Amino acid sequence: MYLGKFGSGKTEIAINHTLALARAGARPWLVDLDTVTPFFRSRDLRERLEESGARVVASAAHADLPALPPEIHSALQAGDDPVVIDLGGDRAGARVLGAWRDYMVPGQYRALFVVNACRPFTGDAAGIARAVGELESVARIKVTDLVSNTHLGSRTTPGVVLEGDRVIRHAARQLGLPVAFLVIREGLADPETFPPPVVVIRPCLGPPFGPGGI
């Protein structure tokens, strides 16, 4: 599952991950639990995702309260089918996940906290640690990895990514967590110039937030 503060880019990463699984021949689920932020969400690309072979579970259109559909049970009991969860990183979003924690068996899930070091509250190691601790306390699960995803939308440069990655890796060492991967936008630069492992994503969400907007 992908968690992160507003502007971290978690939704963009969750969509790209789901599409990659579908291209590889899987029948992934994308579960949209980002029920609080009334802007771009994974479900806005539902048609494209379902055409790829993915299955999308989300709350009803235009519903911004944490009322989740019964299909979520099927997704969370999916057996061998991969499940990608897009979860808001604020306290309200974490409470939604907390209601489903019985499905989150330790060792059988990865909770990847996406960090954009250019965003407020996650611009230094202390802020990142606070954000992770707050989410763990409310959701009652443990974050297993950080994801390095520093960006400034269309103004992102390799230097911005590398400086943010330095901050995020410092936070990861303090938290005793691995950095699962570093994310760069397609066409930004040669992936080999960044610390591995590197995941290259193709922006799927548009304005007003730009690539990787939420």
Band (186; pLDDT cuts 50, 70, 90): very high
18 or 89: which carries more pLDDT confidence? 18
**Band (81; pLDDT cuts 50, 70, 90):** confident
d(CA 126, CA 166) in angstroms, rounded, equals 14
Residue 175 has pLDDT above 80, yes or no: yes
β-pair type (29-32, 83-86): parallel
Full set of structural domains in the chain with CATH: 2-61+68-201 (3.40.50.300)
Task: Please name which of 155, 144, 143, 160 lies closest in space to residue 210, comparing C-alpha atoms.
Answer: 155
Q: Which residue has the higher pLDDT, 96 or 50?
A: 50
Contact between 169 and 179 (Cβ < 8 Å): yes
Q: What is the mean pLDDT of residues 4-10?
A: 88
- pLDDT single digits (tens) 85-105: 888 656 666 666 666 666 666
pTM score of the predicted model: 0.86
The region that residue 191 occupies, defined by phi over 0 for left and psi between -120 and 50 for alpha, beta otherwise, is alpha
pLDDT at 210: 43
Radius of gyration of the chain (CA): 16
What's the pLDDT tens digit per position in 33-44? 765 554 445 556
For residue 93, the model assigns a pLDDT of: 61
